[in-house]
Chain A
Amino acid sequence: MSRATIRTLAAFATLAVVVAALPAFVNDFRAQQFAYVGVYLVALTGLNILTGYTGQISLGHGAFMAIGGYTTSILMIDHGVKDVATIPFALVVAGVAGVLFGLPAARLSGLYLALATFGIALATPALIKKFEGFTGGGAGVNLFGTPELTASLTPVRFLGLELNFNNWLYYLCWTVALVGYVVAWLILRGRTGRAFRAVRDSETAAVSSGISLTRTKVLAFGISAAYAGAAGSLFAITTTFVNPDTFPVTLSIFLLVGVVVSGLGSLKGLVAGAIFIQFMPLWSQHVSKSPGAPAVVYGTVLILLILVLPGGASGLIARLQHLTRR
């Protein structure tokens, strides 16, 4: 193993230890907020594969999260599938949707692709309302208290441990997030990852090296959407409620913001991006509640971040590494 690999594994092990230990040190409710950080981490990992590594901008990942969330909810309510067991289904369904969308979208690039993906983000809530009999329409689906949900405020026994409700959600989301993180790293370090980066850097060069543009882009879409589907599934389980407004257009935009804050084309800063999505709106509200103020605070911080750290959190980490290694 090369030194770089060892370093990555060590960093990952540290992250895993911190994640495992965190609930012991924060109060019950914070654990739940951090569970959402885990959910966003899953989505951001997928989006970074597509946008950061393959160079395809998506403004529609909220829609793939919706597909995952609704797959989970419908399986739980109509088919009596246990919540955890629905996650693989959500992943597959969203992944297939991603491939299907990727087939025509692979012909588009740059702004045109961004607009096409924005279109699915806009259309999804309306479609969910349209098929009311299947999706529950605007009234939504409430999962709280159903037998399929592992825990509704009750403690969970797991591997001989008794976890409270919020810690259970925390560990569930973070287990998926960390597994997803490692899988992403494995995908990206090999041949497939090189193909992704080649497409991003120059499509012409990639084609002349024997890379199929369509196949690579569709694959990236599929993988990325599968991540979003898993994230949507966890989102539904954690929130215990889905309706069309749960996956608004703004969710897709926030995900893109999260990826940029993390740093495009690097997995290092993703946790920071996920923390930003979860806590920045809460924090900006904390500053001021007068009309319009939270949005202004959020926007200002975002602009400052992009100005100061154009490479996002990953860029910052890389710079720090550079300093410490000297």
Chain B
Amino acid sequence: MNRKLMMTCVALVVALALGVTAAIAGTVRGGSDPGITDNSILLGGTAPLTGPASQYASVARGAEAYFKYLNATKGGINGRKITYKYADDAYNPAQSVPVTRQLVEQDKVFAIFNSLGTAHNVAVRPYLNAMKVPQLFVASGATTWGRDYAQYPYTIGFQPSYQAEGWVYGKYLSRTAPGAKVAVLFQNDDYGKDLLGGLKRGLQRSKVKVIAAQPYEVTSPDVASQIAKLKASGADTLAIFATPTFAIQAFQFANKLGWKPKHVINNAVASASTSMQIASSAGQNKLVNGTISIQFLKDPTDPKWKNDPAMKLYRTIMKKFAPSANVADPLHVYGMAAAWTASDALKKAGKDLTRESLRKTLDTFTATGNPFMLPGIAVKTAGKDHYPVEQMLLQKWQNNSWNSFGGLWGYRAS
């Protein structure tokens, strides 16, 4: 019994001693905002490194590679090297919250950058804004980032909003296919509804009508009955606002039913080259040919960019700073494009960088010439418009790859 008591005491002392050193270590730096010194900037973010959406982790890896390249070749930004610390949330918003708090309170990051997922960022947005920590370039196309800017001024999105994307499809149809009757398959959540809302807005005062719209649940096994109903509506145009698995199913069911709509639209989320190839069943599904989608980034598999200096740089960076990653994965380009924009914003926020100066910089911000985006696309905010990327190109699926056509489409939220 005595020995046990002794052991308990020893254990207590050890535990307390460890705790004390940790407490002292936690209170070293003072001065201006956390996460920033004369020669360093610490950014943090959450990414699904494990779990059902772990393929999206490439976004964070692409961004990290770009920051490493920037540190190695240009000495960082304004003499400050950037460290990008991203942590796993397993695509579970309940984990994004403690992980983000850890990044802010424990690791003392200067800002949260490019955390991935809509619900995941919604979950931490009130917290980050209460702490006045910038929530930079959220990796999600939800409309809320731009729309609720007044309430959450420290949060800013990145990619074109789903509403903007839907609007472009609407405008395109109203110009090129007057009289078309559109049937829409959409995911029954903010993502699908934003796209549908945008499409309807783009079709306003045109001769094109949405005559049928069928929702599906993410948890449902397939979309066969929805496609059958859409076919029965007599529509001649099919718009698919679904994630890759369901989009592929939609193509296959429509083909099986012998439905030959004149135009098919597949939104950007579902239109990665790989899923289009699967949908086309090695060219047997003719429906896939001529599908329309949007793009704002350069696709590393697109032969058009083979000799493009930016894509050459992309491949060099990947080779050197993320050697084990798959260079053909366009999500890396997404991460680099976001990292490029973040670096630009940090540079413009000046030598006396603070969270407040960064927020003010992003309030009225214009960045042109992002090498990883399609030529001519600007990242821009001003006044009430807090949607950074509102321009995109249309592309058509032909000969087993995407081919962009026409000029830039610009969307104004207000």
Given A27-B22, A129-B219, A140-B122, also A243-B49 (CB < 8 A): no
Q: Bound state CA distance, A145 and B20, in angstroms?
A: 32
Taking chain B's interface residues, is the majority helix, strand, or loop, or is none over half, making it mixed? helix
A33 close to B98 (CB less than 8 A): yes
Given A18-B12, A241-B123, also A289-B49 (CB < 8 A): yes
Q: Bound state CA distance, A292 and B90, in angstroms?
A: 12
> Which residues of B from 43 to 100 have beta carbons under 8 Å from A?
49-51, 54, 57, 87-88, 90-94, 97-98
The answer to whether B309 has its CB under 8 Å from any CB of chain A is no
Given A18-B15, A294-B50, A324-B4, also A241-B93 (CB < 8 A): yes
Total A-B pairs in contact (CB under 8 Å)? Answer: 120
Contact count band on B = 35 or more
The digit string for A33-52, where 1 denotes a CB below 8 A from any CB of B, is: 10010000000000000000
The answer to whether A153 has its CB under 8 Å from any CB of chain B is yes
Smallest beta-carbon distance B321→chain A, Å: 13
Q: Which residues of B sit under 8 angstroms from A245, Cβ to Cβ?
A: 91-94, 119
Q: Bound state CA distance, A281 and B119, in angstroms?
A: 21
Chain B's closest residue to A154 (CB) is B130
A29 close to B106 (CB less than 8 A): yes
The answer to whether B102 has its CB under 8 Å from any CB of chain A is yes
Q: Which residues of A sit under 8 angstroms from B126, Cβ to Cβ?
A: 142, 144-145, 152, 240
A153 close to B119 (CB less than 8 A): no
The answer to whether A242 has its CB under 8 Å from any CB of chain B is yes
A144 close to B127 (CB less than 8 A): yes
Q: Which residues of A sit under 8 angstroms from B102, Cβ to Cβ?
A: 29, 33
Given A26-B22, A324-B3, also A142-B88 (CB < 8 A): no
The answer to whether A248 has its CB under 8 Å from any CB of chain B is yes
The answer to whether B8 has its CB under 8 Å from any CB of chain A is yes
> Which residues of A from 271 to 308 have beta carbons under 8 Å from B?
281, 285, 289-292, 294-295
A246 close to B92 (CB less than 8 A): yes
The digit string for B18-34, where 1 denotes a CB below 8 A from any CB of A, is: 01101100100000000
Taking chain A's interface residues, is the majority helix, strand, or loop, or is none over half, making it mixed? helix
> Which residues of A from 136 to 158 have beta carbons under 8 Å from B?
137-140, 142, 144-145, 152-153
Smallest beta-carbon distance B147→chain A, Å: 14
The digit string for B178-222, where 1 denotes a CB below 8 A from any CB of A, is: 000000000001100000000000000000000000000111000
Q: Which of B54, B105, B218 contacts A29 (CB 8 A)?
A: B105
Smallest beta-carbon distance A297→chain B, Å: 11
Smallest beta-carbon distance A298→chain B, Å: 8
Smallest beta-carbon distance B323→chain A, Å: 10
Q: Which residues of A sit under 8 angstroms from B16, Cβ to Cβ?
A: 21, 25
Given A18-B12, A29-B105, also A138-B87 (CB < 8 A): no
Q: Which of A28, A142, A291 contacts B105 (CB 8 A)?
A: A28
The answer to whether A97 has its CB under 8 Å from any CB of chain B is no
The answer to whether A126 has its CB under 8 Å from any CB of chain B is yes
Q: Which of A14, A145, A241 contacts B8 (CB 8 A)?
A: A14
The answer to whether B7 has its CB under 8 Å from any CB of chain A is yes
The answer to whether B131 has its CB under 8 Å from any CB of chain A is yes
B19 close to A26 (CB less than 8 A): yes
The 3 A-B pairs of least Cβ separation, nearest first, read A25-B19, A246-B94, A27-B26
Residues of A within 8 A of B (CB): 14, 18, 21-22, 25-30, 32-33, 36, 125-126, 129-130, 137-140, 142, 144-145, 152-153, 166, 235, 239-243, 245-248, 250, 281, 285, 289-292, 294-295, 321, 324
Known: A241-B93, A243-B119, A289-B88. 14 other contacts (CB 8 A): A21-B16, A30-B106, A32-B98, A36-B98, A126-B217, A129-B219, A138-B189, A140-B119, A144-B127, A239-B98, A243-B93, A245-B93, A289-B49, A291-B324
